[in-house]
Amino acid sequence: MNLGKVYLVGAGPGDPDLLTIKARDLIAAAGCVVYDHLVNPEILRHAAPTAELIYAGKRPGKCAMRQETINALLATKSTEHDIVVRLKGGDPFIFGRGGEEALALASAGVPWEVVPGVSAGAAVAAYAGVPITHRGLGSSVAFVTGHEDSSKTESSVDWERLALGVDTLVIFMGVGSAPRIAERLMAHGRSGKTPAAVIRWGTYEHQECHVTALSELARLIESRGVTPPAVIVIGEVVRLREKLNWFGPAADCAELIGTPDYAPA
């Protein structure tokens, strides 16, 4: 039996202009596109009119398909189409379960390829005017999930090391767990005055950004009614937002800079 190839494609952080050329061309050539919740609908317009479009998105409390079902679907579609695109927000191998799907495809003997995308971790921060590394402020950065596997009996995240050993933390899927994240970081020595930015719908025209101190992070999210999707950036580099905000309203992030625990540069 001849099998097509499954391409695990990164759709980027949201702004359709950040889609890579290779991703665009594969979407246009695909007979089937299996796409996630955070894929901008504008990107799907690159698909051929005859292409089969299948939604397989996951949201908090809502799941269109279980991961096992998606794995099986990709294998099945490879028997029906020469090119199958598995389209994921950001980069497939950064908290996108791309590795899990690649392993499943390899195990099933299905040809596959990964097409990296612009990661939300870097792009969303950049669109908020926050360089995640900066000489004198941030020499190291870590991407951290705020939503670990629910089957784990304890966290596998080394919060002690992250608190004191990494300059900039970029938290994915961390809105719901922000109180616990802040508590753990401060319990392991991170100053409560460390600036933190919460960036919602990053790179979209309706992007929102709020800055506060780490100690006030949970209260900010609750008081502003922040809901996913959002990326949280914690570190001294957030201070640069005051001078480097280039996208969106100039004041959308300044209202909390004067809070008691936030010490401007």
Q: Which of 248, 208, 260 is nearest to 229 (CA)?
A: 208
**Peptide bond before residue 229 is cis, with ω within 30 degrees of 0:** yes
Distances (CA, A) of 83 to 4, 64, 101: 6, 23, 16
Q: Which residue is listed with tokens 């292409």?
A: 51
Q: Which residue of the set 15, 36, 88, 91 is catalytic?
A: 36
Q: Quick check: 11 and 47 in contact, CB under 8 A?
A: no
Active site residue 58: yes
pLDDT at 43: 99
Is this model's pTM higher than 0.85 or not? yes
Strands 32-35 and 141-145: unpaired
**47 phi, psi to nearest 5 deg:** -70, 150
| Dihedrals phi, psi of 169, to nearest 5 degrees | -110, 130
Is residue 173 part of the annotated active site? The answer reads yes
3-state secondary structure of 106: helix
Q: How far apart are CA 24 and CA 33, in angstroms?
A: 12
Splitting the chain (265 residues) into consecutive groups of 10 residues, what average pLDDT does each group show? 95 98 99 98 98 89 86 98 98 97 98 98 98 98 84 78 98 96 98 98 96 98 96 98 86 47 50
Q: Where are the alpha helices (DSSP H) in the chain?
A: 21-29, 67-77, 98-107, 120-127, 159-165, 178-187, 217-223, 241-244
Q: Which residue spans of the chain are classified as CATH 3.30.950.10?
A: 120-244
Positions of E strands within 173-229: 195-200, 208-213
d(CA 146, CA 173): 5
Selected catalytic residue, list 15, 88, 91, 173: 173
pLDDT at 58: 78
Predicted local distance difference test score (pLDDT) of residue 251: 43
Please, where in the chain does CATH 3.40.1010.10 lie?
5-115
Q: Which is catalytic among the residues 58, 65, 252, 261?
A: 58
Question: Which residue is it, tokens 């005859």?
Answer: 50
What CATH architecture is 5-115?
3-Layer(aba) Sandwich (3.40)
Q: Which fold has domain 120-244?
A: 3.30.950
DSSP label of 31? S
